[in-house]
Amino acid sequence: MSLPPRGLDAFFAPRGVAVVGASRQEGKVGHAVLQNLLYAGSEGDRSKGFQGQIVPVNPRAETILGLDVLSSVERLPEGIDLAVFAIPAEEVPVALDQAGRRGVRAAIVLSAGFFEMGSAGRKLGARLSRVAENTGVRLIGPNCMGIFAAASQLSASFYGAAPIPGHVTLISESGAVAQALLEQSRCEALGLRNVISLGARADVTEAELIRYFGRDEQSELIGVHLETLDDARAFHEATRDTCPKKPVVVLRGGSTGAGHRAAKRHEGSLSVRDRAIESALSYNGLHQVHSLPAFLAALRTLATQPPARGRRVAIVTNAGGAGVLAADAAARAGLDVINLRPETVAKLAGISQNPRSLANPVDLLGDATPARFLAAIEVIGAAREVDAILLVLTTQPMSDSAAVAAQVCEYASTLDKPLVASLVGAERHQHERLTERYGVPDFVFPETAVEGLRALVARGEYLRRLRRRRPVDKPHRRTRARSWS
């Protein structure tokens, strides 16, 4: 086991934060960062924001948002552990050096204009890296969105909306992707503990963050978006040590020829295509996806459901056509839509009014009541040939699909196997309610729900392989997403 990464606590639990380039003008990055530190996306509620010392730095202002402004980084007081830089790229190295001399231990460089800007930008980026190394200041960025840390109520970013608090840590190379994931996580009731936009990685890498949050008991799940990778060995070692303790999901960009070329233009580095990454993905238990919907589906299911004991899936639905589509999606994902045992079918026959469709998918018809669905789920939940359950409901005029889903999902907490739902045609608030109240991830389409099941199956298979090699630190526990605060 490697030593813990050096100096990262200053990012996520700083005593004080300086905003270098704080601005009085709304719409400027330096204004947005200061505002978010104070209020964390709330409507002026100071209790929601960072509670440590906040120091704006601007040579042409005296007060900003009610805070006294310092004219220079060289005037920073003691206790400022973190500095956020929102100044032109060419000014950052000198300011970073000054910050290091004033005791700053960590820096977030939001500014663009470094590695992505050709030869001159690469030289400036190399200079920035040297300053960080010489001063001992740990650095996230440049060209990043910033970070969120729920435990510290820290919103050190120009993006205003704070996440729902939870136990998932997101690490993204792309600031825009991080912002999109954060916004969508709010829509899908996915609770986040930390969000980190890495940018060009002049210092801190995804491998260090994976190792750091692997040691954080409150971060139960890590999601990583990668386009490029500088140190495949460090990544391999970090995931090797972390995956036995908690799931790590990788959204991989640049895995095709077109994506590889785009990633190289985007960050000025090599995309994730080498064999070392493939080895880490397969051997270390990483779960790899290639789309944003699949990434969120995997995170939502792994955050709330136990790993599946196998690939055998039972589909329960109120619509034959939707059941067929779900079966197709499951089969394409490598899941096994098994024929139920005769004993199970016999029990279902006493419940269903559709004896011709009980093998799997189990079609309970459009007029199925909550009681009928619950009885069927109880039978399937007890069936030893079933490893996971996919509930697929369409809106029907003859029944209340939302009531069916609520009753089934409430019962799901008693199961020893995962249950994932798809409410086709339901309104958005119904989806949020299921996840928040019952801890069951539900999706608009069954194809996306299957992506979530695929993650649970992969996690279960990895843990079984791991047990044959060494014991697992602790079992996964079922949790519920927290409600809005």
233 or 477: which leads in pLDDT? 233
- What are the structural domain ranges in the chain? 1-143, 163-290, 306-469
- What percentage of the chain exceeds 90 in pLDDT? 73
Cα–Cα distances in Å, from 273 out to 224, 253, 276, 448?
16, 9, 9, 26
d(CA 58, CA 45): 24
Beta strand residue intervals within 267-322, DSSP E: 287-289, 313-317
What confidence score (pLDDT) does residue 480 get?
47
Instruction: Give me the amino acid identity at 161.
Output: A
Alpha helix (H) ranges present in 305-427? 320-332, 342-349, 370-382, 401-412
> What does the pLDDT look like over 91-148, one tens digit per residue?
999 999 999 999 999 999 999 989 888 898 999 999 999 999 999 999 999 999 999 9
pLDDT value of residue 275: 62
C-alpha to C-alpha distances, 39 to 63, 154, 329, nearest whole angstrom: 17, 9, 43
DSSP state of 152: G
- The whole-chain average pLDDT of the chain stands at 89
The two three-digit tokens of residue 239, written as one number:
């995931």
Angle between helix 92-101 and 118-135 (nearest 10): 0
CB neighbour list of residue 72: distance below 8 Å, 6 or more residues apart? 57, 59, 98
Helix (H) / strand (E) containing 193: strand 192-197
% of the chain with per-residue pLDDT over 70: 88
pLDDT of residue 485: 29
For tokens 């100096």, what's the residue?
Answer: 7
CA distance 367 to 395: 10
Instruction: Give me 238's structure tokens.
Output: 């970090």
Q: What is the enclosing helix (H) or strand (E) of 146? A: strand 146-149
User: What tokens were used for 408?
Assistant: 């089934």
Task: Output DSSP code: residue 181.
Answer: H
Q: Indicate the range of 65-79, 209-223, 423-437 predicted with least confidence.
A: 423-437
User: What's the whole-number mean pLDDT along residues 456-470?
Assistant: 92
pTM attached to this predicted model: 0.90
**1-143: CATH number:** 3.40.50.720
Rg (Cα) of the chain, in Å, rounded? 25
Are 247 and 459 a contacting pair, CB within 8 Å? Answer: yes
- Residue position matching structure tokens 């998918």: 361
pLDDT for res 319: 93
CATH, range 306-469: 3.40.50.261
**63-64/67-68 β-pairing:** antiparallel
pLDDT at residue 273, rounded to an integer:
52
Residue among 171, 178, 243, 237 nearest 205 (CA)? 171
> Does 6 have pLDDT greater than 90?
no
Determine the Cα–Cα distance for residues 257 and 250; give it in Å rounded to an integer.
19
Banded pLDDT at 1 (limits 50, 70, 90): low
CATH of 163-290, one of 1.10.10.10, 3.40.50.261, 3.40.50.720, 1.10.1270.20: 3.40.50.261
Q: What is the pLDDT of residues 201-237, one digit of tens each?
A: 999 999 999 999 999 999 999 999 998 888 888 999 9
Topology agreement, domain 1-143 and domain 163-290: yes
Asked if pLDDT for residue 324 goes beyond 80, the answer is yes
Distances (CA, A) of 344 to 41, 369, 376, 384, 421: 51, 20, 10, 9, 21
Closest CA to 103 of 72, 132, 78: 78
**pLDDT tens per residue across span 360-389:** 999 999 888 999 999 999 999 999 999 999
pLDDT of residue 212: 98
Q: Quote the pLDDT of residue 438.
A: 87
* Amino acid letter, residue 444: V
Alpha helices in 188-251 (DSSP H): 206-214, 232-242
